[in-house]
Amino acid sequence: MPSNVMIVLSNTRPEVEDEFNAWYSDVHVHEVVDELDGFATAQRFKLADQQVEEGATWKYLVIYTIPEGKLADAQAAIRAQRAERAEALAAGRKPWISARSDLFDGKHHSWFFTAITDEIAGRS
């Protein structure tokens, strides 16, 4: 069980949705788990068509798992890659972790969470 996760919530515009999903699933999540210290796995989710409640703000979710003892490494890696991306874009060069702000609809948000219980399984 991972002791920490980072979740990322985002939206895209309908006219670039296929490109957004291809880039995010085939490029970006792989860059994060392959290149950034502290990240073990990633899984993407799309808001289900049927909901119990209306008014969901975000259509896409990514859950990155972070092994026990690696939270500080993952947070430092995120800070470092954001700084490096800003420097690379300002200098006109390709950033270490690809950036595709043209595919997002508004700002995406990411937060780290630490487990406070073990995983609970239902009765079979």
- Indicate whether 23 belongs to any domain: yes
- Indicate whether 105 belongs to any domain: yes
- Indicate whether 90 belongs to any domain: yes
Which residue type, as a one-letter code, is found at position 4? N
Q: Which domain holds residue 66?
A: 13-114
Q: How many domains does the chain contain in total?
A: 1
- Indicate whether 119 belongs to any domain: no
Reported as a pLDDT band with limits 50, 70 and 90, residue 1 is: low
What confidence tens digit (pLDDT) does each residue in 100-118 have? Answer: 889 999 889 999 999 999 8
Q: Which residues contact 36 (CB under 8 A, 6 or more apart)?
A: 74, 77, 78, 81, 97
- Indicate whether 72 belongs to any domain: yes
pTM over 0.85: yes
Round to the nearest angstrom and report the end-to-end CA distance of the chain: 20
- Indicate whether 121 belongs to any domain: no
What confidence tens digit (pLDDT) does each residue in 73-104 have? Answer: 999 999 999 999 999 999 999 898 988 889 99
Mean pLDDT over 66-72 rounds to 96
- Indicate whether 95 belongs to any domain: yes
- Indicate whether 1 belongs to any domain: no
Distances (CA, A) of 96 to 42, 89, 92, 106, 119: 18, 10, 13, 22, 34
